[in-house]
Structure 1
């Protein structure tokens, strides 16, 4: 505990870091405040719960802004959708591939296209969102309400984008990811209180057991996020002006879960299709009714089997498009590096691809287990709200954002620490990466 307090003192002793943390808290407070500002023309007392299915998932990411019919009801999600679309286009369309290779100017163009696409997606989703609001809650003319809501919701999403960029520039962590995480974490206190009250006094021991299981699940997700397979790389010897430097030994870190949370997002978006399609023939077919009911219940074994298989497929797919063994091999060859015992070029690419395939399988299986664990938790009596924190997209996003933020804070501490050592003239624990041979 003393070490923890000392670390906090060190964090706030660094002026730049202290200002960034305070800026982040200020921007987050604005974001949370906007989640409770109701759209003009809506009577909040007449709002009904419409957070089932995909709406419940959106409401979890948005911290209740969706169910509150607030000005941030769509939040940052349209921007996420636009970013995914642009990311896929840079892989499939040569025009966007060329733009991505143009460096800083290309990235600016892609960012501008992403913002424009975000506005288009937000306008389309705003119409759908208005349709989810029950007529009793709308206190003005329906047509006027639809038009004004489209404008306000689009403005709210653009403002959330601006907050995210400000957090990235002036605060700590990735702003967009931070806003999503805050929306998820804001539901945790209410969920844990509801879970405790549902167990009552005679279930206190069971509640403590659930907390223990949650802790173990979080730790395992941290391990999955951090796990890497290191491929040793040797660099050729270099001749200096008066000395010969032996090769430097480094590693290529291949993440066990290189796809991150994207396979779950893709798979979850497809899992709504069976029930939507089945609803078309719901009145005339018992089979359609069965399919619709089965795939509307995310605790059914049919739903989870299909969900798990889709995650396995999408994990391999997204890993294949995000990690390019040919490019890694070419970069190594150009820089004079090689994997010991493997020929440079094609052989190195095949070697990296074989290792990537092997480590992706256990990562994909565990990712599927993490995704379906909330359904398993519900089968054991955990409430729906609290079960969302036992796995799935919510937990992966929270762990990823927290780890990235802690890395940034740690980098500030390390820089300050090294400055102090340099001024004092004492260099302890110094290691030589390049051995000098006379």
Structure 2
């Protein structure tokens, strides 16, 4: 109920008009309109109280991480544990307000009123960004899931369905069918890959402590392919930089088969490189040896680490190819619709949005199921 109540308040703030603003129709043909609508819930078109949506909250975390690398004081706070984390949380809240203030000033300079009306609008939009930050924390502390991701899911679901009628008006039923197939394919494949895992069986040795025997049970080590949108985004950015490809005109057309093939290869490569450094199999083998566990048929120590590494590299290679296939679906679909020249990065944006929606939905469902099982077994635990 807390989560649903916060979502209702958030959506009301995204339709409540800010003072001293004349609402005008959005620019439907602008290349960045669709991306900005997804990130702000359509707020930059009509300038409501929550005009920026969760965009300042999304931007504050990576900005703070970048500042942590550059500023030694912030790096020292990160190493201080819980006390440092609380200080960094305060800094992140202030950074959200600063980003909201900068965005409000940009809006006033670009299309807002001048004089006292501009001051009121800046104050209103900045306060709206701060209030959205508080709403995200309410969901995180008292609701289900991460507040930023839940509210971003709410605003994306509020904006995304309107794109299908707009696409029908411009391209017809065939385009709607293609986009529906693309959406369904990405959703199904993302769910399958997110739930898939390779279970390495582990047997624990039986130990006698006093008169009792411990161990002798069997378990497994789950190996997964870490999903991420960064390989697709990085590949699209690299292909769009003219400095890296001088004189190669066919790379500028997102519907060109050669560009799509090169995009697939880059996504597979970046996905493999990113997944290769996510888990240390030597550490896993050492931990298994410390607690008395072993893989049946494999000697403990370096042999176990070598076997786990062999299996993991095969999983990573297969997962990288699957990531390339998933990234290829929106690129091919939008190339068939012939909307890539008008909407640059449209395929990557659609992929990121759909993968994000699936991830948030799965995480929220797991939390609800965990709470349901806890309530179910609570009488037996007393």
State the Cα distance separating 1:42 from its structure 2 match: 3.4
TM-score (norm 1): 0.69
Q: Which residue of 2 aligns with 1:261?
A: 229
Corresponding residue number in structure 1 for 2:24: 45
Aligned match of 2:322: 366
In the superposition, relative to structure 1, how do residues 86 and 231 fare at CA in structure 2: closer, same or farther (>3 Å)? farther
Unaligned residue ranges in structure 1 (runs of 5+)? 1-21, 279-285, 424-438
Q: Does the residue aligned with 1:232 lie in a helix, a strand or coil? A: strand
Deviations 1:373-429 (A, max 9, x none): 2232233339889x8799501110111111111111212222233346679xxxxxx
Shift of 1:231: 2.3
1:36 corresponds in structure 2 to: 15
Change beyond 3 A, Cα 1:208–1:287 = closer
Matches within 5 A, 1:50-129: 51-53=30-32, 56-84=34-62, 102-124=80-102
Question: What is the distance in 2 between the residues matched to 1:190 and 1:420?
Answer: 46
CA contact under 8 A between 1:234 and 1:249: conserved in structure 2? Answer: yes
CA distance in 2, matches of 1:320, 1:91: 23
Give the Cα separation in 1 of the matches to 2:68 and 2:303.
Answer: 27
Q: How many residues align?
A: 377
From the superposition, tell whether residues 287 and 102 of structure 1 become closer, same or farther in structure 2 (CA, over 3 Å). Answer: same
1:403 and 2:377 correspond: no
Equivalent residue runs for 1:228-377 within 5 Å: 228-256=197-225, 258-267=226-235, 270=237, 274=241, 295=252, 298-301=254-257, 304-305=260-261, 307-377=263-333
Cα 1:208–1:182, aligned 2, differ >3 Å: closer, same or farther?
Answer: same
Q: Contact 1:325/1:349 (CA < 8 Å) preserved in 2? A: yes
Q: Does 1:226 align with 2:195?
A: yes
Question: Take 1:302 and 1:338, find their aligned partners in 2: how far apart are those partners?
Answer: 48
CA distance in structure 1 between the partners assigned to 2:304 and 2:80 by the alignment = 27
Contact 1:61 1:394 in 2 (8 A): no
For residues 95 and 338 of structure 1, the distance between their equivalents in structure 2, rounded to whole angstroms, comes to 43
8 A Cα contact 1:35 1:65, kept in partner: yes
Q: SS of the counterpart of 2:45?
A: coil
Q: CA 1:375–1:148 in 2, change beyond 3 Å: closer, same or farther? A: farther
C-alpha displacement of 1:60: 1.6
Tell me whether 164-173 or 361-370 shows the greater mean CA deviation: 361-370
Task: Determine the C-alpha separation between the residues in 1 that align with 2:307 and 2:67.
Answer: 28
**Superposition RMSD in Å:** 4.2
